[in-house]
C-alpha cells in the first residue's frame, strides 16, 4: 500500500471516529472532562496539553525549513523561548486589562492564577510580535530579520490555534449563542453563562474556528515558501484570522467588552486593516525595486 493512500485511510478513520464522538458529546450522551487524568490536586488538563502540542508541532514544521531559509537553529530556539514567555504574559495582561473593572479589581490575588483561566489570543499575538522585535534588534548577528521571524511564526500559529480551541471544547467554554441547528452542542448547566441557564444547545464556535484556523494554516504554511517579500505571510495571517475571528466573536457569549463593543472584534478590524496596508506596501516596495 502506498504511503499516501495509507495516510488518507488513517485520516478518514480519524474523521469518522471524531464525528461519532462529537455527535455523542453534542447530544449530551457523553460529558467530557477538562483533564486527561487527575492525581490528588494535580490535573493534567486538555487545554494546556493541546497548547503545548501545538507549539511542538509548529516548532517541528518550522525547523524543517531552516536550511531553506538559511537560519541558525539556535536562534530559532532562543526566539521561540522568549516568544512563549512574552506570549503568555501578553495573553494574561490583555485579559486582565479588559476584565479589571468587573473582576480583577475586586480579586487582585487572582491576577497571577492563570490556571483558573483567562488568556486571550490577541494578547499572545501582540506579546509574541514584541518579543520577536526585541530579539532581532538585540541579538547580535541574528540570522533572520524581524519580518522573516514573524513569518516563521505566522505560518504555523494557526495550527496551534486550531488545536488550542479543542481545549475550550473540553472545558465547555468559548461556545456561542443558543441554537436549534442539528450540530448544536449540549452544555451542562454548571457551564452555562449567566442568562442562558434555560438553554441546552449552543453554537460549537470552538469547532468553527478550529476548522477555519486549520485551513488558514494550510494556506499560510504553503504560501510562505512562495512569498515575494518577508512580511507577506504575517500580513495574510492578520487578514485571514481577523475575518475568521470577527464573525466567530459575533456568536460568542463570553466576549470581553470595551463599553458596548466586543474587544476581539475591534482588534480584528485593526489587525485586518494593518494586514491589508502591510501586504499592499510590501508588494509595492517589491515592484518598485523591480522597475
DSSP assignment of 256-281: -EETTEEHHHHHHHHHHHHHHHHHHH
Residue 204 C-alpha cell reads as 460549537
What pLDDT score does 228 carry?
A: 87
CA distances 81 to 77, 132, 138, 142, 190, Å, are 6, 10, 15, 15, 37
| Mean pLDDT, range 199-222, rounded to an integer | 96
What is d(CA 73, CA 81) in angstroms, rounded to the nearest whole number? 12
Segment 161-188, tens digit of pLDDT? 999 999 999 999 999 999 999 999 999 9
What's the pLDDT band for 114 if we cut at 50, 70, 90?
confident
What pLDDT score does 290 carry?
A: 44
Q: For residue 1, is pLDDT > 80?
A: no
Q: For residue 253, is pLDDT > 50?
A: yes
What pLDDT score does 276 carry?
A: 97
What's the pLDDT band for 265 if we cut at 50, 70, 90?
very high
8 Å CB contact between 173 and 196: no
**Residue 94 exposed, middle or buried by CB count within 10 Å (0-12, 13-18, 19+):** buried
What is d(CA 173, CA 254) in angstroms, rounded to the nearest whole number? 8
| Mean pLDDT, range 183-212, rounded to an integer | 95
What is d(CA 203, CA 187) in angstroms, rounded to the nearest whole number? 10
225: how many CB neighbours lie within 10 A of its CB? 11
Model pTM greater than 0.85? yes
What pLDDT score does 284 carry?
A: 81
Amino acid at each position: 500500500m502506498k504511503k499516501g493512500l495509507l495516510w488518507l485511510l488513517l485520516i478518514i478513520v480519524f474523521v469518522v471516529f471524531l464525528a461519532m464522538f462529537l455527535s455523542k458529546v453534542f447530544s449530551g450522551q457523553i460529558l467530557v472532562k477538562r483533564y486527561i487524568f487527575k492525581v490528588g490536586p494535580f490535573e493534567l488538563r486538555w487545554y494546556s496539553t493541546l497548547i503545548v502540542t501545538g507549539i511542538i508541532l509548529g516548532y517541528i514544521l518550522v525547523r524543517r525549513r531552516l536550511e531553506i531559509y538559511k537560519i541558525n537553529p539556535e536562534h530559532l530556539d532562543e526566539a521561540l523561548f522568549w516568544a512563549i514567555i512574552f506570549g503568555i504574559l501578553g495573553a494574561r495582561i490583555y485579559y486582565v486589562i479588559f476584565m479589571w473593572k468587573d473582576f480583577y479589581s475586586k480579586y487582585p490575588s487572582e491576577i497571577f492564577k492563570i490556571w483558573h483561566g483567562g488568556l486571550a489570543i490577541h494578547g499572545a499575538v501582540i506579546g509574541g510580535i514584541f518579543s520577536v522585535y526585541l530579539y532581532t534588534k538585540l541579538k547580535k548577528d541574528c540570522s533572520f530579520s524581524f519580518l522573516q521571524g514573524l513569518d516563521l511564526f505566522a505560518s504555523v500559529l494557526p495550527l496551534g490555534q486550531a488545536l488550542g480551541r479543542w481545549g475550550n471544547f473540553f472545558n465547555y467554554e468559548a461556545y456561542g449563542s443558543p441554537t436549534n441547528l442539528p450540530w448544536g452542542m449540549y452544555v451542562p448547566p454548571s457551564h452555562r453563562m449567566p442568562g442562558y441557564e434555560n438553554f441546552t444547545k449552543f453554537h460549537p464556535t470552538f469547532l468553527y474556528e478550529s476548522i477555519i484556523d486549520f485551513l488558514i494554516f494550510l494556506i499560510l504554511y504553503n504560501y510562505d515558501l512562495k512569498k515575494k517579500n518577508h512580511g507577506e505571510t504575517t500580513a495574510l495571517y492578520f487578514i485571514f484570522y481577523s475575518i475568521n475571528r470577527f464573525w466567530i466573536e459575533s456568536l460568542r457569549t463570553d466576549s470581553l467588552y470595551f463599553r458596548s463593543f466586543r474587544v476581539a472584534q475591534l482588534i480584528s478590524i485593526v489587525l485586518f486593516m494593518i494586514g491589508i496596508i502591510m501586504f499592499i506596501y510590501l508588494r509595492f516596495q517589491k515592484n518598485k525595486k523591480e522597475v
